[in-house]
Structure 1
Amino acid sequence: MSDEEGGDSPMAVLLTKQRKEKKDLQAKFVIMKKTAKSGNKKQQKESQEEMGRMEKELEERHKKEQDECKELNQVVAPAEEDKKEEEKEEEKEEVTFYKEKTTKGKNQKRLERKAEERKKAAEAAAIDAEAAKTSMRTIEMKAVVEALLTRGLSLVDIPPDGDCLFHAIAHQLTIGGKDSKGAALRRKAASFIRAHKDDFLPFLSTEDGEILDEFQFEEYCVKVEREASSGGQWGGEPELRALAEALERKIEV
């Protein structure tokens, strides 16, 4: 049995009705045959022809009804399919809307969170900037810059790598037309200190405050020669004095 003939479909209802009509017609034929037997051959022949005509008309009518029912089903079925498709599309739209709404909600929250973080960072930076205005370093730097401006000078940043004192002097010498490097100035300072040991030794002491002995003095000079990355001595007042005298230049601090 096809889907069209099953259940309560229009075709199934029609076929049930047609079977009943055929059954009723057969019952009518039985009565007509009994009646014809009591008549002559002509009457029997006419009765037979009448039954054939009635059966043919019923078959033709049934076929026409079935064809019309099939056509109707072909129209209704697509309509039902279209309705189902529309319902599916509506469901998809609802799901899509929900997803979009959820996604937009998450994106909005993320944007708001980032905006809040930026706001806090800006507030923190503003607080730091305000605090920096009154910090000792800021006050000191401001005074240095003002002093330099009155003399037509400017502040130059030197990398704080442990060799900054020697690099700073090398920078100034280069500006003055004498190419120089921090490493070379270290060696020059150490050489000058060795040559003028008695002048520098009173100002060199151990962590305990004791004057350096011969071995310690030489160890100190070696550290002055080395760059900071190799364990060299940081530059200070003794090294500045040594370079000022060795270079025959006035160095202001």
Structure 2
Amino acid sequence: MDDPQSDQQRMLRRHHREKKELQARIQSMKSAVPKTDKKRRKQLHLDVARLEAEMEQRHRQELEKFYESFPGSSNLEMVTDDLAKMDLENQPPRPSKAQRKRERRAALERERQERIAEAEMEHLDSFRCEEEEKVAAILATRNLEMKEIPADGHCMYRAIQDQLVFSVTVESLRSRTAKYMRKHIEDFLPFLTDPETGDAYCLEDYMTYCDEIVCTASWGGQLELRALSHVLQMPIEVIQAESPSVIIGEEYNKKPITLVYMRYACSFGEHYNSVKPLDAGAVGGHAPRLF
């Protein structure tokens, strides 16, 4: 059986590895959110703080549990020595006294931000439950229920894909949306502004925006829905909790695609889901396409 010191070293090494993996995950999350989207960037910072706080709490609990099992191992010097013996890549030099003070101040600020993030998450959970109840009641009057769509930046396109009776890829929907918007610049350019400055988009900004529709997981909104209604030549209805449903593309005389707009559905904010009949799946199998 391994001695307590070996167990402790393995645990500390695992903690270090998990921290590195979390940082890689956080970097991936940051890459998925455009820097120009201030609202989503703000929510991203809250999510990052929450993830880091959860990992720190879990690691602290594991250490406390270990020391309860092996009381003689709870010496702070032993922990410091074990960490120093780890073969870590790019080990930074020992911080100066002034740097340690700055780090302590930064740690206190992180704790404050984490408490703020926790409070905001509690409010968000409350808003989310209330929103889901309202949407469920609206859909029930139409014998429908919500069908969850992954929150990966492609949710609007995936929800539309789910509603169509013919096969189409998300990549194709994005490409056709951008192509239509490039051909009808005058219909969309006046409605786009820089989220940070409020300045109207120039033509170059607009073309970059269209490129991001194709090449990134940028979220779709009302402008993209307008373009897709023309591309598909059918109306698109958007059901929401706090406002009457909106129909885009009413000029097309077809039964509309129906999406659900959720403001608080996921940690990043706005989200689109699909719908399905209330009795779908009662017998088993996949829910039938609606249209």
TM over 0.5: no
TM range (shorter): 0.3 to 0.5
Higher strand proportion, which one?
2
Going by fraction, where is helix more abundant, 1 or 2? 1
Larger Rg: 1
The TM-score normalised by the length of structure 2 is 0.38
* TM-score, scaled to structure 1: 0.43
